[in-house]
Structure 1
Amino acid sequence: MQGQESNIVFLPVEDAARREVSALWDTLRLEANAAVHRDTALARAMNSAVLMHAGFGHALSHRLAIKLADHDIDRDELLALIHGAYMDRPGLLGAAAADLQAVKDRDPSNAEVLTPFLYFKGFSALQGYRIAHWLWANGRKHLARHIQSRISEAFGIDIHPAAVVGRGVMLDHGSGLVIGETAVVEDEVSILQNVTLGGTGKETGDRHPKVRRGVLIGAGAKILGNIEIGIGAKVGAGSVVVSPVAPYSSVVGVPARTVGRRHTALPGVTMDQSVSEPEYII
């Protein structure tokens, strides 16, 4: 297994993305070594997950293959498949690095990249989706559906392979998250658990929400239909949204209504979950 991984050569990526991935990989290795230094019982785990690998792409491929393998497609087959995706689309690694950095920057319970890389199912599910999306785009739809199904079984997160998801996205906890076929989630969005980006049950074709950059979606929110959630918007926990949401505004309730004053920040980045007039925490 180790010999097989060491023979994989990844294609070059754009300079900025390559630097991003390289810097993150250096940090990941430092944190893994520090974990072993603090607790030697972790030596085998850190070696298998991080330290034995030649780079971030190798380590991430190995991690996903372990988590998503089953009796239909085993670990070695998945490892080769994921390697193939990263060789064909090196930008997938840049997106993964941006996602991992987003978790470190936004999650107050976590101050490193090692923990979400190893244990956070929102991060793992999102990277599995990226592989399924690559398969879907290349016409391998049944295999994409297989990956989608395994992500749902392993993590309790269901993202259709045809959905479009940007970079620097955080799926916090992720449990119960559903993202439909024609949904779009742009860069720097943060989504908490038990959220649905779904259809209304009546339409066909383009029928799912378009979530613009920097949006924050609170736990349990349901956003239904081909509607736009504008850049920098906040959607309150438990809200049911069936109408478009203006940029930099906050909506809460069932059905959702606009509350508070317009803001200017990107709450998906700042994780500011408060609104004023009336006071409300999403």
Structure 2
Amino acid sequence: MQAQACCCSDALIQDLFAVNICNHGDFASALASLLSTKLTDRAMTEPTLMRLITSTLEDDPTITRAAASDIVATFQRDPACPDLVTPFLFFKGFQALQAHRIAHHLWRVDRKPLAYHFQSRVNEKFGIDIHPAAQIGQRITIDHGTGIVIGETTIIEDDVSLFQNVTLGGTGKNSGQRHPVIRQGCMIGAGAKILGYLEIGAHARVGAASVVLGNVPPRSTAVGNPARIVRFGDMDQDFLNYQI
């Protein structure tokens, strides 16, 4: 990624590349610098954020590895992504997700007000609202991102793609697991609403603008409001355990 950025021939963009990529010794440093620049406000200065994020990445190196895997996944899945530099610098879905990873770490070490601050700043800056307690895997693609809402007890496994205006929300239950579980390899289309404690099975697809209120079998496609299954995956015993 650094080599791609530093060889850019456009003089007007070279400073942007230098500040955010070329002047850093490693990916973690570049990531901390980018996020601190994006999320600073009057209450928390850029140097303060830089120190906080840097120390978080040192405490939990899995965040940096997950961020790198998200870039590769975006490059592989998104035909509008020409290289590895573009999502890092310009895709707010990627940037919001990495800020969430920082917030989630802060939540787990019981720095909850600080985690909420990150959530709030991400919402203000990017228009994406991810509760800091939500559990999100690796190789995640958030395409466009505007309007995405992910609730507190949501679980998103690896290799999931989310499009704009997706809601992974609750149905009014006051305690316990209240939000969806999105299994590995799922694709959730633009504007889909998945509500309550339910499961979207591995490698399933949810069509744009669908409203899902029940489980979706693995490798199946659900569309509509209310959602219905229009394509079933492998007909195995697991299928018998799913209803929508």
Distance in 2 between residues matched to 1:263 and 1:47, nearest whole Å: 49
Q: Secondary structure at the match of 1:76?
A: helix
Displacement of 1:120? 0.3
Give the superposed CA RMSD: 1.1
SS in 1 for 2:194: strand
Provide the residue aligned with 1:100 in structure 2. Answer: 71
- Where does residue 32 of structure 1 map in the other structure? 5
Counterpart Cα distance in 1 of 2:20 and 2:157: 29
The C-alpha deviation readout for 1:154-204, integer Å capped at 9, x for no partner, is 000000000000000000011000000000000000000000000012342
Summarize the alignment of residues 39-188 of structure 1 with structure 2, pairs less than 5 Å apart.
Answer: 39-188=10-159
In structure 2, distance between residues paired with 1:76 and 1:197: 34
What is the Cα deviation at residue 69 of structure 1?
A: 0.5
Kindly indicate whether the alpha-carbon contact (under 8 Å) linking 2:219 and 2:232 is maintained by their aligned counterparts in 1: no
Counterparts of residues 195-210 of structure 1 (less than 5 Å) = 195-210=166-181
Tell me the distance in 2 between the aligned counterparts of 1:55 and 1:202: 44
Correspondence for 2:240? none
1:258 is paired with a residue whose SS is strand
Give the Cα separation in 1 of the matches to 2:160 and 2:105.
21
Paired residue type of 2:212? V
Q: Distance in 2 between matches of 1:261 and 1:127?
A: 34
Paired residues of 1:182 and 1:208 also in contact (CA < 8 A) = yes
Provide, for residues 50-80 of structure 1, a one-character-per-residue CA deviation record: whole Å limited to 9, x for no partner.
1110100000100000000000111011000
Distance, in Å, in 2 between the alignment partners of 1:117 and 1:107 is: 13
Structure 1 residues 53 and 224: CA distance shift in structure 2, 3 A:
same
CA contact (8 A) 2:180 2:195 kept: yes
Shift in Å, 1:263: 6.4
The DSSP-based 3-state class of the residue aligned with 1:259 is strand
- Report Cα offsets for 1:75-125 as digits up to 9, x if no partner: 011000000111100111100000011110010011201111001000000
Q: In structure 2, how many angstroms separate the alpha carbons of the residues matched to 1:34 and 1:108? A: 22
Instruction: Determine helix, strand or coil for the equivalent of 1:206.
Output: coil
Q: Name the counterpart of 1:15.
A: none
1:220-274, Cα deviation, whole Å (9 max, x unpaired): 000000001000100000000000011111000011000024269xxxxxxxxxx
**CA distance in structure 1 between the aligned counterparts of 2:108 and 2:34, rounded to whole angstroms:** 23
Q: How many residues align?
A: 235
- Conserved in 1, the CA contact under 8 Å of 2:217 and 2:232? no
The answer (yes or no) to whether the contact 1:103–1:116 under 8 Å persists in 2 is yes
Pick one of 228, 233, 237 that aligns with 1:257. Answer: 228
Instruction: Extract unaligned runs of 5+ from structure 1.
Output: 1-27, 265-282
Q: Which runs of 5+ in 2 are unaligned?
A: 236-244
Deviations 1:133-155 (A, max 9, x none): 00000000000000000000000
1:227 maps onto 2:198 in alignment = yes
The residue type equivalent to 1:30 in the other structure is A
Q: TM-score scaled by structure 1?
A: 0.82
Q: Which residue type is aligned with residue 133 of structure 1? A: H
Q: Quote the sequence identity (%).
A: 49
Give the match's secondary structure for 2:95: helix
